[in-house]
Amino acid sequence: MRHACGIGGMALESRALSTWHGTALVVGTGGIGSALLEALAERAPDLQLLGASRQRPPNWEDGALADTAFMAVDLTKPCSLDGLQRRLGALPPLRLVINTAGVLHGPDLQPEKRLSQVTQASLATSFDLNAFGPILLAQALESLWPKDQPFHFASLSARVGSIGDNSLGGWYSYRASKAAQNQLLRTLAIEWKRRLPLGCVSLLHPGTTATELSRPFQAGVAPGQLFSPARSANHLLDVLEGLGDDQSGHFWAWDGSAIPW
Ligand SMILES: NC(=O)c1ccc[n+]([C@@H]2O[C@H](COP(=O)([O-])OP(=O)(O)OC[C@H]3O[C@@H](n4cnc5c(N)ncnc54)[C@H](OP(=O)(O)O)[C@@H]3O)[C@@H](O)[C@H]2O)c1
């Protein structure tokens, strides 16, 4: 079911992305993060964009993001978050933050098929970025949100992080780290409802998307079910555009349907 739009304090018109102004930060400039920045440049021309990842993607300056500011940030390093806070403090007020940094596999990390493959290292790597990263990012940015303007803090989760939706098993570390992120940001949404009531905190599932993160698993995806990063990005912005502070603290799929925790 699509979420309700246009209820609560603000009229739907005032939520239109084209009217958003201030600073938008996208953390993680991989497949979906870069596509989000490109889509924001088109759909929200008054936002000042900043992309952040550990490394600037190699084609950054040659492509559509040539004019977009970039900052090297490692979400798992507190000093890096301090630097990000200082940089953002010198920019127009924050309007939107989308965290897209996440890990599923890597040189020393493979999603587990069975219990015997779970290691302390696989759990720690996954939780460090997927669960601890977003809440520590929120903490670093907390003092920067305007008290009198609406804002969005969104982080990409994954449907497989839903405990209620878990009927297949496997992928222990990834699933559990996304479930932990969901709980941490749900808790954050409750606190910010009191302290920053115009904010909207969201967990977003982008749909299976053709990026480095999904590359090893794309063969099993049904035809038509693998989204381009641009398609995912635009779906996610559609979802955020329809959300207001009255819908803070929920887990949404790319089509605006609510996902059970
Ligand atoms: N693709 C899918 O099918 C899919 C499905 C469901 C959910 N998701 C979620 O969507 C999000 C985005 O995924 P994606 O498909 O765009 O993956 P991706 O292309 O692999 O991008 C992930 C990004 O995370 C950044 N990153 C990794 N470690 C970081 C760190 N310590 N600090 C800051 N940035 C870091 C990477 O850049 P650097 O290496 O330069 O830091 C990379 O830009 C992830 O949270 C993923 O779990 C994806």
Q: How much is the pLDDT for 13? A: 45
Place of tokens 């493959």: 117
Domains of the chain: 12-253 (3.40.50.720)
- C-alpha distances (whole Å) from 48 to each of 42, 51, 151, 209 are 12, 10, 14, 26
Q: How much is the pLDDT for 62? A: 86
Q: How much is the pLDDT for 15? A: 81
Other Cβ atoms less than 10 A from the Cβ of 40: the count is: 22
Task: Enumerate residues 6+ apart whose C-beta is below 8 A from 248.
Answer: 189, 192, 193, 199, 200, 201, 202
**Alpha-carbon torsion (123, 129, 134, 137), positive or negative:** positive
Q: How much is the pLDDT for 14? A: 59
Q: Locate the ligand 1 atom nearest the alpha carbon of residue 209 and give its number.
A: 3
Q: Is 28 in the pocket of ligand 1 (CB under 6 A)?
A: yes
- C-alpha distances (whole Å) from 23 to each of 26, 68, 91, 209 are 10, 12, 7, 26
Q: How much is the pLDDT for 8? A: 43
Give the CA angle between residues 245, 75, 43 to the nearest 5°. 45
Q: Is 209 in the pocket of ligand 1 (CB under 6 A)?
A: yes
- C-alpha distances (whole Å) from 114 to each of 52, 75, 169, 171 are 34, 29, 9, 8
Task: Enumerate residues 6+ apart whose C-beta is below 8 A from 28.
Answer: 52, 53, 75, 99, 100, 101, 102, 156
Q: What is the pLDDT along the chain (261 residues), one digit of tens a residue?
A: 344 333 344 444 458 999 999 999 999 999 999 999 999 999 999 999 999 999 999 989 888 999 999 999 999 999 999 999 999 999 999 999 999 999 999 999 999 999 999 999 999 999 999 999 999 999 999 999 999 999 999 999 999 999 999 999 999 999 999 999 999 999 999 999 999 999 999 999 999 999 999 999 999 898 789 999 999 999 999 999 999 999 999 999 999 999 999
Q: Mutate which of 68, 100, 174, 217 to test ligand 1's pocket (most atoms within 8 Å of Cβ)?
A: 100
Q: Is 3 in the pocket of ligand 1 (CB under 6 A)?
A: no
The separation between the first and the last C-alpha atoms of the chain, rounded to the nearest angstrom, is 15
Amino acid letter, 10:
M
Q: Are 64 and 58 in contact (CB under 8 A)?
A: no
Other Cβ atoms less than 10 A from the Cβ of 182: the count is: 24
